[in-house]
Structure 1
């Protein structure tokens, strides 16, 4: 008689069974081996990419100097180090961005005269001053050195730093065009209930990083000429503008160090605000924030006069000419695109600048109010004319 095998007989493995633990062990070994192979492949790929990047630097290494306002130079240098970690290659050059702080007037004089590398450092491929008053001066003097219209890196509104009691007295009743009269008229603060304080004693610093002084003068010029668009050269040359700026300058108290920050610090340290030698100074909001950010009680207040608000716009002036190599110009463009990414730009806005990244929390002095009516940049000739009135430049 024929005999039929059972199902178990046809499947020996099923009949005998296999340990689940053994199967798990085998799978773990296979998985570990796969991970090792994958890790080796990734390492090889990284090595190949590094070799490929090195191979593309056939023209060698290039340093790209950038001169910046001291208020932004430190953060820009930090961002430049982040940029270096991306191993940037431009036109077959491995590039390094070298940011250094520079005084705006000294930089302008060097660019429009004979650049002395020994005293000024390497000739820059880009310049980021505090405001466009310097872009106007450079464009007027040497237009062939400026590559296109400058873009704003970050911005900071120009405000008045005053004693808290004076800010309360002003309320919302102060505008820019009142400043010349408040400067010249005796006991002018009586109009705000503080006649014993005398006049406004508005400091007009003209030393380092004093762009706020010229920008405030532009705001006054716009209002006294009733200009609704950008300030024109004709506006700036009017008798009303020159007499208004002269009124603010005449008898203005001196800043201890010639800067807006020095004047604000003197007010903050005054024992009696009413008798302080300085009652007010135009200053960038960012400078005021840095000066007072550790204060738990306000020693100063931020006043935003009515009318268009002047802005320190920190223009990125891309330089051109025989002293700026093509790869340097291209590297500048790549670098500032990198700066504009949110994580990197945040390194600047954390210092109190305005930009498309989070701002620091409000302080006892600076609340970062919305700038509802930013002042447009004047025509180049108008800015140069106002600069001449404020700084006495020919």
Structure 2
């Protein structure tokens, strides 16, 4: 019987390509691919470097921003993160330089003559504690303001009091009652507090004392029964002027002219009833910073009924010969960057309120909801109340420490 030669398996393998040759070919192809990829990567890096150099053809520019000392550290951290993105504006490499500044000194410089030698470079933007200052600047020199202001974060104005006084007044004190309680002797007996005397609310007008002016705005809004924003006509009325003067006349002095100085006096008093100061308006953020390390509550956050005044930290973009177009655009880009949640958290973790997580509550500050924020008054109304609060020391000697600057 005949047998046929097999045509499969072993015969094909015997006529196939050697494994060594295949491996050598694959190695050559792999090496070639690596070389091409490396060359492409090098060309891409060179192109990016050339593009970056071309974008920065106008060199580097430092963009100065002056901010309230409470918010300046957080904004400076945001500015460092912004710089890490290598921002280029109008062919200039941008660095944002945030520095703290006193509001009264800054206002005087912006509305008058800026002395760069003593005050530093003219700012491209200013972030004071509240619209108390933007309204004054708009009234004094409107042309220096570029566009509309906006806020990144805010903080309510509250009353710092002793825990004992908070227990007695909590939920029972309205902003409209403050002038009468301040003026009348032994007025706290109305709340069952024998031997406490009158309200003894300090009204500091030293550094970072916007809370005093904002508290006066809240009282003015309440006593005039204004449903919307406080109007200029209402703020200039005799009823408002008499109410604000009642808050100031006989107000106890803060040791250093600041809200935190007055709050420390309350916290350190061995006998709350006999303390020289019972109450002081203060921003919640500042009160949080003062008490975040306290093991026990030495102060309480009292929020009167009625509209709650807000320190809004407006971002005021500035204009003038010293502010370049690239600086103006850089401020806009920086504020947009700072609005991102991960950047805002650098501010909210300091106790400001914004669209980012808040820090843990302290024994004093629990960050309660603000159900009734006070509408921002008209600019003319803000200025009118400022004129009542930030008076020369000689005009209200009992309310203002000698030599204290307003602001």
Q: The TM-score by the shorter chain falls in which range?
A: over 0.9
Report the equivalent of 1:181: 180
Residue 279 (str. 1) matches residue 278 (str. 2):
yes
Write the mapping of 1:163-202 to structure 2, written as runs, cut at 5 A.
Answer: 163-202=162-201
- Structure 1 unaligned segments of length 5 or more: list them: none
SS in 1 for 2:195: helix
CA deviation string 1:44-80 (max 9, x = no partner): 5345323311221111111111000000111111111
- The answer for unaligned runs of 5 or more in structure 2 is 396-407
SS, match of residue 250 in structure 2 = coil
Deviation at 1:26, TM superposition (A): 10
Distance verdict in 2 for CA 1:38–1:354, change over 3 Å:
farther
Shift of 1:2: 8.8
- Counterpart in the other structure of 2:5: 4
Separation in 1 of the partners of 2:247 and 2:117? 39
Query: Which residue number in structure 1 is paired with residue 329 of structure 2?
Result: 330
1:376 is displaced (CA, Å) by 1.0
Alpha-carbon separation, structure 2, partners of 1:248 and 1:32: 84
Task: Spell out, residue by residue over 1:160-190, the C-alpha distance to the aligned partner (whole angstroms, 9 max, x if none).
Answer: 0000011011121111111111111111111
Partner SS for 2:266: helix
1:158·1:212 contact (CA, 8 Å) conserved in 2? yes
Task: Find the counterpart in structure 1 of residue 363 from structure 2.
Answer: 364
Residue matched to 2:235 = 236
Deviations 1:265-319 (A, max 9, x none): 1111111111111100000000000000001210000011111100000000000
Is the Cα–Cα contact under 8 Å of residues 146 and 317 in structure 2 kept in the other structure?
yes
Write the deviation string for residues 235-269 of structure 1: whole angstroms up to 9, x where unpaired: 00111100000001001011111000111111111
**Is the 2:55–2:92 Cα contact (8 Å) retained in structure 1?**
yes
What is the Cα deviation at residue 38 of structure 1? 5.4
The residue aligned with 2:103 is: 104
- Residue 336 of structure 1: CA displacement? 0.8
CA contact (8 A) 2:170 2:303 kept: no
Please tell me whether the aligned partners of residues 8 and 15 of structure 1 are also in contact (alpha carbons under 8 angstroms). Answer: no
Contact 1:350 1:360 in 2 (8 A): yes
Greater shift, 90-99 or 217-226, is seen at: 90-99
Matched residue SS, 1:371:
coil
Deviations for 1:304-338, whole angstroms, at most 9, x for unmatched residues?
Answer: 11111000000000001222111110000001111
- Which shifted more, 355-364 or 25-34? 25-34
1:87 paired to 2:86: yes
d(CA) in 1 for partners of 2:274 and 2:28?
84
Residue 66 of structure 2 is matched in structure 1 by: 67
Partner of 1:389: 388
Q: TM-score, normalised by structure 2?
A: 0.90
SS in 1 for 2:64: strand
- In structure 2, relative to structure 1, the CA distance for the partners of 1:224 and 1:28 (3 Å cut) is farther
Q: C-alpha distance in 2, partners of 1:300/1:37? A: 70
TM-score, structure 1 length as denominator?
0.93
- Aligned length, in residue pairs: 391
Q: Give the SS at the match of 1:203.
A: coil
Using the alignment, how far apart are the partners of 2:27 and 2:220 within structure 1?
A: 79
C-alpha separation in 2, matches of 1:363 and 1:32: 63
